[in-house]
Structure 1
Amino acid sequence: MWFFSILFIPFFLKPAHTNMDSKALSTSIAKFSAKFCNQLEKTSVVSSPLSAEYLLALLALGSEDPAHSELLKSLGLPDDDAVRTSFTSFANKLKSIKGITLNIANKVYIQEGDYDLSPALKNDAVKVFDAGLEKMDFTDSSAAGLINKWVESKTNERIKDLLSPDSLNSDTRLVLVNALYFKGTWVNQFDPIHTMDQAFHIDANTTVDVPMMFIEEEFLYGEDPAINAQFLQMHYAGEEASMLIVLPREVDGVDDLLTHLADGYDLVGQLDKLHRVKVKVTIPKFKIETEIDLKSLLPKMGVEAIFDPHNSGINKLLDNGEMLHVSKAVQKAFIEVNEEGAEAAAATGMVLMMRCAPMSSPTFRADRSFSYTIFTSERAPLFTGVYRGPN
């Protein structure tokens, strides 16, 4: 199984110390992820809200109001010290996950010449986010291609062409990029001999044949009548990362399910209620690639000021104090789920420019739309999405 995510953000010019434990941060990330996923298009999608959070957190440390308060609220963190302590601790724990391949890379590209990050933000970028720093001439026609090559190298070449050449110009001051790559094999792998085309319900009136995998093994399983859904948690090798599938009972139930999750349903808490039982599991074998326009999505989650060319509050990124705003923010993500496991990747970028209850031997048959999330052992979501059938 593979997952990839990339976030890209180009920038153009124009209280007391708080500690959060890992459970609180994981819950915060899960809530952000649920709201993020609920805003995606009603098609099969994959995303990495965590990839976006890395760059939003860095932006928070380089901004004042109005952007600062919006960013902290969206992240579910009370202040800058909480951002620093939480992401430092979280990054260290991600590096120690056993049994999977998980690569997280952050990069800050800075316009050549008399431009540099402010000393405080440079320290945070390196120590908190382990970010690489590189000077670049954004007016050079090869600039976007060089950034894209870096993204490809960090995502096993799964994420390509994150940035178009017209994303960058003489007003570009910074480009922030996060790349996230995951690959894991199931503890209990599916036997390909049991994979066969079967009907998948797109809606109550439409079905389409898709390759469905089958296995009967012990998994963590549960049900919740409150949201009329089943839960199945399947671990990867090392048993420190897992995929959780939430399957609505109703054929047309996935949109209501996503609304429940976004409205504060405690998905992390639900993991503690699952029980290990033998389950007859049938799930689709699928591959999804998604591109997300964060400039459209994030304002729906209350993050608006960073895109305002006149009053963003992003004035602590550069050492010259120039006011910046985010001109473009995009995420590309990929996932492939098969008999062996999953591979996923995502990348997010931003450009800144100048101002202007369990059953006995249950059956889990995912022949209708469902949500899925890849969790770490700390219960933090790495990737989340919805499968609604072939796009």
Structure 2
Amino acid sequence: MEVPIDAESSSFNTYFCLLLANNILQEKGVENGSNTVISPFSFHLLLSLIAVGSKGRTLEQLFHCLGSTSLEDINSLASQMIDLASPFNESNGVSIGEPDLSFVNAAWVAQGLKLKPSFQEIVEGVYHAIAKEVDFANKAEKVVAEVNAWAETATRGLIRNLLTAEALKVINEDTALILANALYFKGTWAQLFDTSKTKQRVFHLLDGEKVHVPFMTSNRFERYLYNKFEDFKILKLPYKTSQPTRKFAMHFFLPDAKDGLKNLLQMFRSNPEYFNKRFDLVNAKISDFWVPRFKFEFEFEASEAM
């Protein structure tokens, strides 16, 4: 998402998110030969929520992790980003075909801990999150069902079992808190693909294996935002929108070498701020243009990535 927020806030948020993304991509994705889908900003928001309810050494560590010095800064950034991500309703005059974005948070707290009114006010007012007291000790199955129902609604039915049966083995009287974030996005390409031209082509996996997958394309010599760099290329495909403050695009980073993904990620990992650049993409005619059509899911242990 391209947003016009001030450089200082953008920088501190982007650094944390990109460093986390690179770690997960390298350690959980590339090393295991796995496709990866993550939302680093979701991590940022959930850690910010934890900071709101923390103090002492724990709060100091969260400040360090998030690159901030006060709860005011953390809450201010969270408010900016959540407001930008909040879906427009009919009163905003958004036409059919606008990007559909939902970004929601929730917290379930052990009933014995009791939510402070000040905490609940920030959680609901700033983070637009629900915050509920629940009985982890005696009603674990009900809590799991409630969390899963929330996730299914928040993701338009795409995620039906956020917490699996395995969760019942670890949710007990010692469980203090469950935090959840759901990010949903659906958009229409500003330049549509020609579905009649979709065809099977070779896709190269990280282990050297070749598979045939459907690739999308459009007319030859169409203009796209593109540029070639030392060892890779970047293609930017915008989504259709009429809102100047809600511009979305997908960026494709393609290494020149078939086995060049590891080197590309290592470069990003050594310099996370690289993604703050504008990339100097140009509106160029592309003669041979193919994008794989993909659908996948990804699961990992979040605590191991922090």
TM-score bucket (shorter structure): 0.7 to 0.9
- The answer to whether structure 1 residue 199 and structure 2 residue 202 are counterparts is yes
- The answer to whether structure 1 residue 221 and structure 2 residue 219 are counterparts is no
Kindly state the Cα deviation for residue 116 of structure 1 after the two structures are TM-superposed: 1.9
Equivalent-residue separation in structure 1 for 2:223 and 2:105 (angstroms): 38
Kindly state the Cα deviation for residue 23 of structure 1 after the two structures are TM-superposed: 3.4
Kindly state the Cα deviation for residue 238 of structure 1 after the two structures are TM-superposed: 0.4
Give the match for residue 167 of structure 1: 170
Give the match for residue 152 of structure 1: 152
Equivalent-residue separation in structure 1 for 2:208 and 2:79 (angstroms): 49
TM-score, structure 1 length as denominator?
Answer: 0.65
Match for 1:171: what amino acid? D
With 97-106 and 188-197 compared, the bigger mean Cα shift is at 97-106
Equivalent-residue separation in structure 1 for 2:207 and 2:152 (angstroms): 40
Cα deviations by residue, 1:330-371 (Å, 9 ceiling, x for unpaired): xxxxxxxxxxxxxxxxxxxxxxxxxxxxxxxxxxxxxxxxxx
Match for 1:219: what amino acid? Y
Higher RCO structure, 1 or 2 (CA under 8 Å, sep 6+): 1
Cα deviations by residue, 1:17-52 (Å, 9 ceiling, x for unpaired): xxx954333333333333223223221111111111
Cα deviations by residue, 1:148-168 (Å, 9 ceiling, x for unpaired): 111111101111222222232
CA 1:78–1:232: 2 relative to 1, 3 Å: farther
- The answer to whether structure 1 residue 285 and structure 2 residue 293 are counterparts is yes
Give 1:83's match in structure 2, choosing from 74, 78, 82: 74
Give 1:136's match in structure 2, choosing from 126, 130, 134: 134
SS of match in other structure, 2:277: helix
Equivalent-residue separation in structure 2 for 1:268 and 1:24 (angstroms): 15
SS of match in other structure, 1:146: helix
In structure 1, stretches of 5+ residues that fail to align are 1-19, 299-391
State whether residues 108 and 133 of structure 1, in contact with CA within 8 Å, keep that contact through their aligned partners in structure 2. yes
Give the match for residue 296 of structure 1: 304
CA 1:109–1:203: 2 relative to 1, 3 Å: closer
Give the match for residue 249 of structure 1: 256
Equivalent residues in 2 for 1:25-40, closer than 5 Å:
25-40=9-24
Kindly state the Cα deviation for residue 266 of structure 1 after the two structures are TM-superposed: 3.6
SS of match in other structure, 1:200: strand
Kindly state the Cα deviation for residue 128 of structure 1 after the two structures are TM-superposed: 1.6
Give the match for residue 91 of structure 2: none
Give 2:113's match in structure 1, choosing from 112, 115, 118: 115
- The answer to whether structure 1 residue 71 and structure 2 residue 76 are counterparts is no
Give the match for residue 233 of structure 1: 236
State whether residues 87 and 102 of structure 2, in contact with CA within 8 Å, keep that contact through their aligned partners in structure 1. no
More helix by proportion, 1 or 2?
2
Give the match for residue 101 of structure 2: 102
CA 1:204–1:129: 2 relative to 1, 3 Å: closer
Match for 1:118: what amino acid? K
Cα deviations by residue, 1:31-80 (Å, 9 ceiling, x for unpaired): 33332232232211111111111111111222234332332233232322
Give the match for residue 341 of structure 1: none
SS of match in other structure, 2:161: coil
- Amino-acid identity (%): 26
In structure 2, stretches of 5+ residues that fail to align are 89-93
Equivalent-residue separation in structure 2 for 1:265 and 1:296 (angstroms): 20
State whether residues 145 and 165 of structure 1, in contact with CA within 8 Å, keep that contact through their aligned partners in structure 2. no
Match for 1:191: what amino acid? D
Give the match for residue 345 of structure 1: none
RMSD: 2.3
State whether residues 234 and 244 of structure 1, in contact with CA within 8 Å, keep that contact through their aligned partners in structure 2. yes
SS of match in other structure, 1:289: coil
Give the match for residue 309 of structure 1: none
State whether residues 30 and 267 of structure 1, in contact with CA within 8 Å, keep that contact through their aligned partners in structure 2. no
Kindly state the Cα deviation for residue 251 of structure 1 after the two structures are TM-superposed: 1.2
SS of match in other structure, 1:290: coil
Number of equivalences: 276
TM-score, structure 2 length as denominator?
Answer: 0.82
